[in-house]
A = this chain, B = another copy of it.
Amino acid sequence: MSLIVQKFGGTSVANTERIFNVADIVTNTYKKGNDVVVVVSAQGDTTDDFIEKAQAINPNASKREMDMLLSAGEQISASLLAMAIEKLGYPVVSLLGWQAGFSTSSTYGSARIKRVNPDRIQKELDKKNIVIVTGFQGVNRYDDMTTLGRGGSDTSAVAIASVMHADLCQIYTDVEGVFTADPRKVPNAKKLNVISYDEMLELATLGAQVLNNRSVEMAKKYNVELEVLSSLTQVPGTIVKEETKMEKMLISGIAKDNDVARISIIGVPDKPGLAFKIFSKLAAKKVNVDVILQSVGRDNTKDISFTIPQCMMQDAIEVSNQFVDVVGASSVVYDENVSKVSIVGAGMETHPGVAAAMFESLFEANINIQMISTSEIKISVLIAREDADKAVTTIHNKFFGEE
């Protein structure tokens, strides 16, 4: 007998039919003799509907009251799912975040889980109940309702799995798992059977959003085995676990990120400490800098380029222009029509030819590389946005073969 935590997102419980589909998955797992804890998000558009209602009343409503409102969403989906499971004839109980022992920080709207006291969940499991827990929510030290922010239900599920030492934490979504590239763009993208936490984190950060990052970090920290799978098909998904336990794949996935812009400061005097200055000023403005490139000096000046999320363009240009005036650089140029394409793979640490193969494939496709950034298990290139989809396909063919 195993303890299995299953998490279902909003689309998985969007209507009566979908709810019964989830009830089938849950009761099939229970029938096999497993203890089952289910974590649910709010139904389909409930959260958006609530936000709309709130906006009509007060666009500046306090986050405390927003959390009070939003947390009703999971309460509705959890109780409806419980009713469906009752209908199928199985013992079940639904629990709200506070009933399930979720203590969070006080930051309304984006609270962090501080502690999960599993006593109540355990008591219900001991009674042979299927336990449904509202995801995305908890209570803070004032006993006020809090929500965990976007993707918070994944984190709720992993938190329960970690504190209760679950054998598996299944994250049900509308995709069948983690793919080597976006399957909507790359027809021969392959589903991975297994991927490491670190690779999953790199992929999530890079725009292949399947799992919430915080949930993967937590799973890694507490060594919770995850499975990403579809609630609509009955096929195994992708297992996310510690890489030491498996054969390292050369590369596990390719991701594209369009939410990126490039800024270059031209003709910066080549004196020590100046580079630090611009990045500390950007940090003070809360601009997240991603890739940084500094050209080799020429005529005692150098060029500094960096990438940022699109929404921070204005702030970054402003800071850069001030910097140009202060240090006597020549100009600021920027480009919004860029994409970052990355390959991720734990295997590349020990295979030095990976970067070369990636660059070669881009060269063969006549795609110009503007910037390069590498980490131990990731290589990212900045290219023109118009080339991005072609780049993903080209690189995918290089590593995974043509269809």
Contact = CB atoms under 8 A, between A and B. Distances in A.
Nearest to A145: B96
A72 B65 contact: no
Interface string A68-103: 110110011011101110110000011010110000
Given A65-B94, A76-B50, A83 B71 contact: no
Contact of A86 (B58, B69, B120): B58
A261 B5 CA distance: 55
Contacts of A56: 16
A84 B58 contact: yes
A6 to B, nearest CB: 18
A75 B84 contact: no
A49 B80 CA distance: 13
Nearest to A68: B79
A82 B54 CA distance: 10
B83 A76 contact: no
Contacts of A20: 57
A80 B54 contact: yes
A83 B64 contact: no
A68 B53 CA distance: 22
A90 to B, nearest CB: 12
Contacts of A65: 79, 82-83, 86, 94
Nearest to A143: B99
A120 B75 CA distance: 23
A144 interface: yes
Interface in A141-169: 143-145
Contact of A83 (B54, B72, B79, B83): B54
Which of A56, A61, A79, A84 has the most B CB atoms < 10 Å from its CB?
A79
A62 interface: yes
A86 B144 CA distance: 17
Contacts of A80: 53-54, 57, 69
Contacts of A84: 57-58
A19 interface: yes
A91 to B, nearest CB: 10
Contacts of A145: 96
Given A54-B80, A80-B57, A96-B145, A62 B86 contact: yes
Nearest to A73: B72
Given A80-B54, A99-B143, A143-B99, A75 B68 contact: yes
Interface in A13-69: 16, 19-20, 50, 53-54, 56-58, 60-62, 64-66, 68-69
A99 B144 contact: yes
A58 B75 contact: no
B72 A76 contact: yes
Interface in A122-155: 143-145
A83 B58 contact: yes
Contacts of A16: 53, 56-57
A57 B19 contact: yes
A5 B82 CA distance: 36
Which of A16, A53, A98 has the most B CB atoms < 10 Å from its CB?
A53
Interface of A: 16, 19-20, 50, 53-54, 56-58, 60-62, 64-66, 68-69, 71-72, 75-76, 78-80, 82-84, 86-87, 93-94, 96, 98-99, 120, 143-145
26 contacts: A16-B57, A19-B57, A20-B57, A50-B76, A53-B76, A53-B80, A54-B79, A54-B83, A57-B83, A57-B87, A58-B83, A58-B86, A61-B83, A61-B86, A65-B82, A65-B94, A68-B82, A68-B94, A69-B75, A69-B76, A71-B75, A72-B72, A72-B75, A75-B75, A96-B145, A99-B144
